[in-house]
Structure 1
Amino acid sequence: MATIWTAIAVAAVTGVAVLGFWVAAAVIARHRVEAAADLGALAAASHVVEGPARACERARWVAERMGVTLLTCRWQRLDALVEVRAPSPGLAGLPGPSARARAGPAGRPP
């Protein structure tokens, strides 16, 4: 009887550990995609004087280097609005995390 209870306890601990790893992978992916969106928006905003197309290319370059896909890059007045998506972390077919960020040019008063 003790062997059965031990096997059940080991299975439960293993299940909780796997669930914990999945949650950790999702959280890490979310943080990574948020950082990529922030940096992409900052890159675009810092290159606004070169024109919107060139600034969005800079945001795409940053996104690719961080391992995410740039979905949209658009402008609202002088603010860059960037949206990115990361590949799925492998959680049972769930879509990858996405994030949005907004940044304006340096030197503009708040």
Structure 2
Amino acid sequence: MNRLGSPAERGAATVLVLGLVAALLAMTVGGLVLASAVVASHRARLAADLAALAGAARLRDGVAVDGACAAADRVAASNGAGLVSCAAEGLTLEVTVAVTAAAWPEPARARARAGPAAPVDLPPAQAVVGPG
């Protein structure tokens, strides 16, 4: 037996290092794919919120549902999303958008709703202006 060990053990460290590098590479790629999906999800939620607000503002201004949905579509597109659905009930607009993820097979979808708040019965407010 020589200092390096038996001939059957020669190269075992190389195989171990290659296995560790492959595992590290797989974990890195998995992390990047997951990060891509998370970023697409955040972009979809942002685009849905902004599109719903834009469309609801158009409804409040007296524009028909088609015009409100067109405004929502423009805002969604300017934020990198595609409008999947748009529906109005009164002055409330609900939109669904989709954003394609760079490394994920399915697009990220988000739904948002915007419109006037429900009326709340509050006692009359008393304001004090100035000192005292």
User: What TM-score does the superposition give when structure 1 sets the normalisation length?
Assistant: 0.88
Among 24, 27, 39, which residue is 2:35 paired with?
24
Q: Match for 1:109 among 119, 124, 127?
A: 119
Distance (Å, rounded) in 2 between the aligned partners of 1:20 and 1:30:
15
Q: Distance in 2 between matches of 1:102 and 1:6?
A: 53
Moved over 6 A (4+): none
Cα deviation, residue 108, structure 1: 6.0
What runs of 5+ residues in structure 2 fail to find an aligned partner? 1-11, 121-132
TM-score by length of 2: 0.74
- Asked if residue 79 in structure 1 is aligned to residue 79 in structure 2, the reply is no
Q: Work out the CA distance in 2 between the residues paired with 1:27 and 1:88.
A: 9
Query: Could you list the runs of 5+ residues in structure 1 that have no partner in the other structure?
Result: none
- What is the alpha-carbon distance in structure 2 between the residues aligned to residue 53 and residue 27 of structure 1? 31
SS across alignment from 2:33: helix
| SS of equivalent residue, structure 1 residue 47 | helix
Per the TM alignment, residue 76 of structure 1 is displaced from its structure 2 partner at its CA by 1.4
Deviation at 1:21, TM superposition (A): 0.4
Name the amino acid aligned to 1:79: T
Overall identity of the aligned pairs, in %? 37
